[in-house]
Structure 1
Amino acid sequence: MQDNPFSLDGKFIMITGASSGIGREVAIWLSKQGARILAVARDLPRLEETLSLLHGEGHAVEVFDFLNANDIAGWMKRLALTMSPFDGLVHAAGVQSPMPIRAMALDHWEKILATNVTSGFCLIKSFRQKGVYRSPASIVMLSSVMAQVAQPALMGYCASKGAVESMVRAAALELSGEGIRVNAVAPGVVRTEMAEKLKGLVGEDSMAVIERKHPLGLGEPLDVAYAINYLLSPAARWVTGTSLVVDGGYLAE
């Protein structure tokens, strides 16, 4: 065991959704821990802003839209060949899109599932290809406390995060023999742009009620980044198939 089992020195890690919110904070924090980062998202200017905030050298950005991608497997293989095989993957890209059941159309439902679930499946399947990863490797999917509880107007989001956690458990069992650990992190409400959009939809009074349901208050993106750091690091070498709840006590009520 190395002197600091939480260190990510020399690790090459792909982070999706790295242009804002939790994904950006994860990229910044992991770079401080010695990791080399490939930041992935749809918005190049915002990705370049993330890149400017990273510590160390050797980082890169990649513009990619998972909703309009036909060959994620080939894309990941090309990245591994031109850069280096990956030691870790953090899938932080996702959408919440609150919508009451009465107003939810099928295409709205399918977009949530495609963004939050299908993209994760494609990434896991592509990551395990020969030459794409270095063993031992670690995959971390972003889930939510909404995988276990619910709020009105979030049926699609709740369903998608429940699917993510089930997918993580199944993938962890299947990929353990290939030297890949698979886990999730399930945050409560974190102060991000997504939370601000939620506040705009539900109003300040309802948002205050949500905040009171977190005994330790709302979280910060860095709180989630710390948990992801642990799951990617050698310190978590005996952890797979689980969802690490980081919710300020939300689920304890």
Structure 2
Amino acid sequence: MNPFTLEHKIIMVTGASSGIGEATAIACDEQGATLLLLGRNEERLNHTLSKLSSRNHKILAIDLAEFEVVTAQLPVFLQDVPHLDGMVHAAGITSTYPFKLFKTEQLDNILKVNVQAAFYLTKLVLTKLNKEGSSLVFISSIMASVGEKAKTMYAMSKGAVSAGAKSLAIEYASRKVRVNTIAPGIVNTPMTANATYKTNENLLAETLAKYPLGFGEPEDVAHACVFLLSDASKWMTGTEITLDGGYSAK
């Protein structure tokens, strides 16, 4: 028996239309999972779907921050799904704002997308989780535990995800629900392609120097997701895996 396989498992992946979410969908498909893919853009979701096997995968184009829509549409989407063996919540937004530009509206939006949407979705899928055991994986960030200029609001949101996941892990352990987080450093995704450090040669060199192994790729995070979804990690819950190319070791 291969403990790393996802054969016969049904996995939901959010943010599956690009970046870490898309890479996670591909990695889970390669390990035999049946997938439920969520994202805001139907065309891009279909593009992800085109990269997968012919298994009975499903997509749902939806904005997870529109709670009324999620409440109405998600149960219908899951109606014929017998159970969920796992979920990877990769949907989210990043932000880089000097603190002097702090605005409550910006913070409200970041918290709504990165925190409230993550845990509200979790609440809605709880009754669908496999009673024999399931795994929830939240994509957090190293900004949840280390400091960086202009990342205060983003760090607050990811800190909330990391902290909330730990308590959720304890609360649902008796129901055989495992809850873990992954905290990546900078990963080369469409979301980071237009970051300030990517458009300034000197700043790019300065930022890259903080990463002994260089920036990560979406597949690096996706493979960690597969591990946490698989039975190979069946004794792990309330844990955060740091994937940062050595950034936080310095």
TM-score bracket, normalised by the shorter chain, equals over 0.9
Where has structure 1 moved over 3 Å in runs of 4 or more? Answer: 71-77, 199-202
Among 159, 162, 165, the alignment partner of 1:165 is 162
Counterpart of 1:183, as a letter, is: N
CA distance in 2: counterparts of 1:75 and 1:177, whole angstroms: 29
Letter paired with 1:166: A
CA distance in 1, matches of 2:136, 2:71: 16
Residue 129 of structure 2 is aligned to residue 133 of structure 1: yes
Q: 1:35 to 1:46 in 2, by over 3 A?
A: same
Instruction: Report deviation, 1:202.
Output: 6.6
Are 1:41 and 1:65, in contact at CA under 8 Å, matched by a contact in 2?
yes
Coordinate RMSD, CA, aligned = 1.5
Alpha-carbon distance in structure 1 between the residues aligned to 2:57 and 2:208: 36
**Partner of 2:104 in structure 1?**
106
Query: Pick from 207, 212, 215: which aligns with 2:212?
Result: 215
In 2, the alpha carbon distance for the partners of 1:138 and 1:105 equals: 36
* 1:182-213 deviation line (CA, Å, top 9, x unaligned): 00011111111122121467723212212111
1:229 — aligned with what?
226
Q: 8 Å contact 2:15–2:90 — kept in the other structure?
A: yes
* Residue matched to 2:119: 121
Share of identical aligned residues, percent?
39
TM-score in terms of structure 2 length: 0.95
Match of 1:94 among 92, 95, 98: 92
- Rounded to whole Å, the distance in 2 between the matches of 1:152 and 1:203 is 16
1:31-46, aligned counterparts within 5 Å?
A: 31-46=29-44
The one-letter code sitting in structure 2 at the alignment partner of 1:210 is T
Q: Pick one of 171, 180, 183 that aligns with 1:183.
A: 180
- Which residue pairs with 2:57 in the alignment? 59
| Structure 1 position 70, deviation (Å) | 1.5
1:74 is displaced (CA, Å) by 5.4
Supply the AA of the counterpart residue of 2:3.
Answer: P
Measured after TM superposition, the shift of residue 58 of structure 1 is 0.5
Q: Is 1:174 the equivalent of 2:189? A: no
Describe the SS at the equivalent of 1:7. coil
| Structure 1: distance between partners of 2:16 and 2:244 | 21
Query: What is the one-letter code of the residue matched to 2:33?
Result: A
Code of the residue aligned with 2:174 in structure 1: it is: G
Which amino acid is the alignment partner of residue 235 of structure 1?
A
Question: Could you tell me how far apart the structure 2 residues matched to 1:251 and 1:179 are?
Answer: 32
Gaps in structure 1 of 5+ consecutive residues: none
Rounded to whole Å, the distance in 1 between the matches of 2:31 and 2:64 is 28
- In structure 2, the gaps of 5 or more residues are none
Deviation string 1:148-196 (CA, Å, 9 cap, x unpaired) is: 1122111111011111110010000001111110000111111111221
Corresponding position: 1:245 with 2:226: no
CA-CA distance at 1:238 after TM superposition: 0.3
